Amino acid sequence: MPLPLVCVVDDDESVRESLPHLLRKFGFAAQAFSSAEDFLASAFVGQTRCLVLDIAMPGMGGPALQMELSRRQQAIPIVFITAHEDDTVRVRLISAGAVECLFKPFSGAALRNAVNAALRAG
Amino acid sequence: MNNEFRQAIDTIPGLVWSALPDGGVDFLNRRWCDYTGISLDEACGRGWLSAIHREDAAPLVEYWSSLLGGREPGEFEARLRRVDGTFRWFLIRAVPVCDESGRVVKWWGQNTDIEDRKRAETLLAGEKRLLEMVASGCELPIVLDALCAFVNEASSGCHCSILLVEVSSGTVRHGASPTLPPDFTRAIDGRPAAAPYFGPCAMAIDQNTPVVVSDIGLDTRWDGFEWSARALAVGLRSCWTAPILSQAGRPLGTFAVYQREVGAPTPRQTELIGQVMHIASIAVERAQAEERLRRSQAHLARAQRVSTTGSFSYSAATDELTLSEEACRICGLDPALPVPPGAMRDRIHPEDLPLFLRMLGGTERQFDFDCRVQLEDGTIRYVHVVADALRDEADGLVEWIGAIRDVTERRHAEEERRRHEAILSKAERLSLTGSSCWRPPSEELIWSKEMFRIFDFDPDMTPTVHMVRERIHPEDLPLFNHTVECAVRDGQDFAVEPRLLMPDGSVKYLQVLTHAFRDEHGNVVEFIGAVKDVTERKQSENALNEMRNELAHAARVATVGALTASIAHEINQPLSGIVTNASTSLLMLADDPPDINGALESAQRTIRDANRASEVITRLRTLFKKTTSASESLDLNEATREVLALSLSELQKAQVMVLTELAHDLPPVRGDRVQLQQVVLNLVLNSAEAMSAIEDRPRQLVVRTERDEDDHVRLSVRDTGPGFDPESACRLFDTFYTTKREGMGIGLSISRSIVERHQGRIWAACNDGPGATFGFSLPRLPLLADPRHVDAPPPPGVPDVEGVQGQAQ
């Protein structure tokens, strides 16, 4: 059985470079994309078991991607990450179906818990 | 009559005759017959009458008849024809011979030649008539015509012409020539006087000597001008001309006699001409003197009119006032009418009249005062009167002679000048501005009152350059001296802002602006300048600067609040990387066996992210640092990129799309980097905020830099917000003016003060489409002033947002 694929979509290079390594250490397969559009255009959408998604990005933002996936009926559990610490946003996103919303910087444990929760939800 | 007696009478050199009591001539001596060429037989009876001039015959016969009725001797003047046909004047005397009873038995007569006396008499009468003409002020052309006619008459066969020298033009003018063909005489009119080749008259003037041309046909002296040919063409054969001389011996013109026969003047003609020339000289000189007098009177009248000065005389004995034309005009009297008695007294202003009357009747020798003259229409004229008393031997007043001058305009101008001076003085006092005039050649210095106050010198002192230098602050003196020296050398305007060190130790700040006035060689004649005491302004400026810095800092701190989220975002990004990498690294080291290489990579990424975080902090520190103004050469593009990098996430959050159009060849400007970035940030945040309520169109922000005219660099921020009311455009940059509920209204006003301190201009404009554009322009740094900054690359760590668009969702 292949490792569950976790995709990271973030315009920030630091996140794109660091997060896949950590996810792999947690025992997941990981892919990083610098924009929502790149992700949608990729061949990984169907295999993705969890999406770690930045909220604010140039072009299509995280919530927009979430809506687009739901429109495509691609029910991928989503863990939002954001550098803006804003609880109202977190509450809104979670109530809209997101598994979790993490504020940068988040701990490795918090990430693992969130991804695991997503995989369980999926 | 016996023969012996007859022979005796015949031998008498005079003309002797006898007549019978009835008047019939019975004897004429041989001399008579020889003289008239009439034989005795023919002449006897009434035959002698044929020798009498036709004009004289009838009167003579009448007189002779009247004489025959009595016994008295008689005499009669008549012209007798000589055998050669010429008439000469004779005095014909007749004496009766009576018998014892007293009855006339015979008349004896003698004719005496009185031609010379008669001629002299005629000449004398002619001269007298001419002189009378001259004396009675007869016009010169008429007198000259009469002169010519007189000579023509006295010497038959002569044709006279008179030419006059016109001194002002140096030419000859036709004077008179009643009997010569006009074409001939007018040919010389207007020719140069000193041109002997034009003809004998011109030669006579030029050489100041008579010229005789006894045969025009043989004389070749004027062939060049064809004078001889023209004279011959009108039938003239000889010409004698002589200069008419003034009393000083200067030629006034010529008197010329022409004849239709060849010949030189006879002595009699020479004498005649000489006499006539004398009269001509008097006539011409008198006419010239009259002309001079007339002109000098005209000049005087004109001079009086121009100088608004009239003359007057007042006779004490007759109480009579005589006014010149201009004096009449000044007093509002008609110069054409006689001055009515008391006219002056009626017109002098009642308040000035007593003084005037005291002067007129007093014992002064001179008077000199101003009085007012009231004209009929009520106008008041100011008149300056000066007069001199003429006194007799007993020191009694005979006459006042004086001048009056209309000084109304001067008085008005003086009043106006006084008023202006008062206003100016007040204005100087109010504006703390003194004026000064400095004439470097003479070192003369003229100061207005305010100058003395500014320099704190006694207004009675005469200011000197030395005094000025003594007051100038020692630190500012070298620059002041250098500036002034250069200005004097180059003849240029100058401006300096020296400080004064006052005796009490206080310091004054001055602003000096001068304009140089140069002579035609470019040398400075004088500097006229304004000196403004700007001490208070300087002090408040300093205080204001401090306040402004405080305020700018406060504003920056205020923006910190707005940017907190942004800052957190900027820092959280690398922090997130750090935590993630550190976690990864720890996990890799915990593996068995540990993944050393993977841990090392992760640790390196950790360091890199930490560096990124540190750069963000550095940028923030420069932006929010409280700092005083520091001027440097800077690239506005680079500064703008930094600001946009910091605010990008804020803009994304506000869902604002940022487009940058930064000119590639933007010249550097000089200024305070932090302050100018503050301005850019203010403009960007303002625009973003303005668009917060816009939902029906993209929230788009265009940040553009470009070269502006007049060597300026401009930056503009264009939004698609609601724009602003054009009427409030001028108030947008006022402190505490705000259209935003939460705004403090200090952002734009601080931006304006920053830009203006950089000699720039800030502005706001409504777009053609939706929204507004805010911008500023700054003077560019002169080319090559600091080449390091022309193509400076963006500093490391600052993302290049050029052409990138950021959008948040």
Partner-chain contact B609 A18, CB within 8 Å: yes
- Beta strand B669-671 pairing with B87-98: unpaired
Residues of A in contact with B806 (CB under 8 A): 58
Partner-chain contact B573 A57, CB within 8 Å: no
Of all residues in chain A, the one with the smallest CA distance to B611 is A14
Partner-chain contact B574 A14, CB within 8 Å: yes
Residues of B in contact with A61 (CB under 8 A): 807-809
Q: Say if B805 is an interface residue toward chain A (CB within 8 Å).
A: yes
Partner-chain contact A14 B577, CB within 8 Å: yes
Min Cα–Cα distance to chain B from A34, Å:
14
* B306-310 contact pairs (CB < 8 A, 24+): B307/B405, B308/B405, B308/B406, B308/B407, B309/B403, B309/B404, B309/B405, B309/B406, B310/B403, B310/B404, B310/B405
B210 token code pair: 């008579």
Of all residues in chain A, the one with the smallest CA distance to B658 is A58
CA distance B742 to B752: 20
Of all residues in chain A, the one with the smallest CA distance to B566 is A84
Partner-chain contact A59 B807, CB within 8 Å: yes
CB-CB: which of B574, B579, B805 is closest to A107?
Answer: B579
Residues of A in contact with B578 (CB under 8 A): 14, 105
Count the alpha carbons within 13 Å of A104 in the hemisphere toward its beta carbon. Answer: 31
Determine the pLDDT at residue B625. Answer: 59
B505 token code pair: 């130790």
Residue to test with chain A: of B566, B583, B611, most A Cβ within 10 A: B583
Residues of A in contact with B570 (CB under 8 A): 83
CA distance B440 to B130: 70
Q: Phi first, then psi: what are they for B86, rounded to 5°? A: -80, 145
Min Cα–Cα distance to chain B from A121, Å:
24
Determine the pLDDT at residue B53. Answer: 92
Min Cα–Cα distance to chain A from B508, Å:
56
CA distance B243 to B164: 10
Nearest to B406 by CA among B336, B334, B304, B333: B304
CB-CB: which of B575, B602, B809 is closest to A105?
Answer: B575
User: Could you say which residues from 414 to 473 on chain B have a Cβ atom under 8 Å away from some Cβ of chain A?
Assistant: none
pLDDT tens, position by position, B497-508:
899 999 998 999
* B782-789 contact pairs (CB < 8 A, 24+): B783/B667, B785/B633, B785/B668, B786/B633, B786/B668, B788/B633, B789/B633, B789/B634, B789/B635, B789/B668
Determine the pLDDT at residue B549. Answer: 63
Cβ atoms A105, B579 nearer than 8 A: yes
Of all residues in chain A, the one with the smallest CA distance to B585 is A22
B171 token code pair: 């030419």
Give the other-Cβ count within 10 Å of B76's Cβ.
Answer: 19
Residue stretches of chain B with pLDDT short of 50: 735-745, 784-809
Min Cα–Cα distance to chain B from A39, Å:
17
Partner-chain contact A85 B804, CB within 8 Å: no
CA distance A77 to A119: 7
Distances (CA, A) of B112 to B29, B90, B109: 14, 5, 10
Partner-chain contact B809 A81, CB within 8 Å: no
Q: Which residues pair with B15 in a beta bridge?
A: B111
CB-CB: which of A18, A60, A108 is closest to B577?
Answer: A18
Partner-chain contact B584 A83, CB within 8 Å: no
CA distance A15 to B73: 173
Min Cα–Cα distance to chain B from A26, Å:
9
Q: Say if B614 is an interface residue toward chain A (CB within 8 Å).
A: no
Cβ atoms B773, B781 nearer than 8 A: no
User: Could you say which residues from 641 to 680 on chain B have a Cβ atom under 8 Å away from some Cβ of chain A?
Assistant: 649, 652-653
Partner-chain contact A108 B584, CB within 8 Å: yes
CA distance B163 to B256: 8
Determine the pLDDT at residue B291. Answer: 85
Angle at A60 between CA A55 and CA A61, to 5 degrees: 10
The DSSP-derived string for B229-288 is HHHHHTT--EEEEEEEEPTTS-EEEEEEEEESS--PPPHHHHHHHHHHHHHHHHHHHHHH
Q: Which residues pair with B5 in a beta bridge?
A: none
Of all residues in chain A, the one with the smallest CA distance to B603 is A18
Nearest to B613 by CA among B574, B560, B577, B648: B574
Determine the pLDDT at residue B74. Answer: 92
Q: Phi first, then psi: what are they for B397, rounded to 5°? A: -70, 125
pLDDT tens, position by position, B341-364:
777 778 888 888 888 777 777 677
Cβ atoms B115, B129 nearer than 8 A: no
Cβ atoms A109, A87 nearer than 8 A: no
Distances (CA, A) of B188 to B165, B178, B182, B257, B701: 11, 16, 11, 16, 97
Please give the mean pLDDT across all residues of chain A. 90
Partner-chain contact A84 B568, CB within 8 Å: yes
User: Could you say which residues from 567 to 586 on chain B have a Cβ atom under 8 Å away from some Cβ of chain A?
Assistant: 568-570, 572-581, 583-584, 586
Partner-chain contact B578 A85, CB within 8 Å: no
Burial of B296 per CB tally in 10 Å (0-12, 13-18, 19+): exposed
B596 token code pair: 């050393």
What is the three-state SS of B139-190?
A: CHHHHHHHHHHHHHHHCCCEEEEEEEEECCCCEEEEEECCCCCHHHHHCCCC
Partner-chain contact A83 B807, CB within 8 Å: no
Determine the pLDDT at residue B202. Answer: 85
Instruction: Say what the ipTM of the complex is.
Output: 0.85
Determine the pLDDT at residue A78. Answer: 94
pLDDT at A6 > cutoff 70 = yes
Partner-chain contact B568 A85, CB within 8 Å: yes
The three-state secondary structure class of B492 is coil
CA distance B475 to B509: 13
Partner-chain contact A108 B579, CB within 8 Å: yes
Cβ atoms B26, B44 nearer than 8 A: yes
CA distance B295 to B301: 10
B239 token code pair: 């010409």
Residue whose tokens read 């005062």: B369
CA distance B18 to B25: 6
Determine the pLDDT at residue B629. Answer: 58
Nearest to B164 by CA among B247, B257, B280: B280
| Upstream peptide bond of A105 is cis (omega within 30 degrees of 0) | yes
* B536-543 contact pairs (CB < 8 A, 24+): B536/B432, B537/B509, B538/B509
Residues of A in contact with B652 (CB under 8 A): 56, 58
Of all residues in chain B, the one with the smallest CA distance to A60 is B809
Give the other-Cβ count within 10 Å of A90's Cβ.
Answer: 19
Cβ atoms B399, B313 nearer than 8 A: yes
Q: Looking at residue B368, what DSSP letter applies?
A: E
CA distance B210 to B272: 14
Residues of B in contact with A26 (CB under 8 A): 587
Residues of A in contact with B574 (CB under 8 A): 14
* E strands present in B663-783: 669-671, 700-708, 712-718, 761-766, 772-779
Of all residues in chain A, the one with the smallest CA distance to B807 is A58
Nearest to B448 by CA among B464, B461, B437: B437
Q: Say if B119 is an interface residue toward chain A (CB within 8 Å).
A: no
Distances (CA, A) of B649 to B254, B568, B572, B654: 116, 10, 12, 8
CB-CB: which of A12, A22, A64 is closest to B583?
Answer: A22
Residues of B in contact with A21 (CB under 8 A): 580-581, 584, 598, 601-602
Q: Looking at residue B743, what DSSP letter applies?
A: -
pLDDT tens, position by position, B244-282:
988 888 888 999 999 998 888 888 888 888 888 888 888
Partner-chain contact B584 A64, CB within 8 Å: no
CB-CB: which of A25, A56, A64 is closest to B649?
Answer: A56
CA distance B367 to B710: 69
pLDDT tens, position by position, A24-71:
999 999 999 999 999 999 999 999 999 999 988 878 889 999 989 989
Helix, strand and coil percent figures for chain B, each rounded to 5: 45, 25, 30
User: Could you say which residues from 541 to 570 on chain B have a Cβ atom under 8 Å away from some Cβ of chain A?
Assistant: 565, 568-570
Partner-chain contact A84 B573, CB within 8 Å: no
The DSSP-derived string for A29-91 is EEEEESSHHHHHHSTTGGGEEEEEEESS-SSS-HHHHHHHHHHTT----EEEEESS--HHHHH
Determine the pLDDT at residue B465. Answer: 87
CA distance B799 to B163: 109
Residue to test with chain B: of A14, A15, A17, A82, most B Cβ within 10 A: A14
Nearest to B27 by CA among B50, B13, B9: B9
Under an 8 Å CB criterion, which residues of A touch B? 12, 14-15, 17-19, 21-22, 25-26, 55-64, 81, 83-86, 103-108, 111
Which residues have a Cβ under 8 Å from the Cβ of B324 and sit 6 or more positions away? B301, B304, B310, B311, B312
Give the other-Cβ count within 10 Å of B523's Cβ.
Answer: 12
Give the other-Cβ count within 10 Å of B431's Cβ.
Answer: 12
Determine the pLDDT at residue B792. Answer: 39
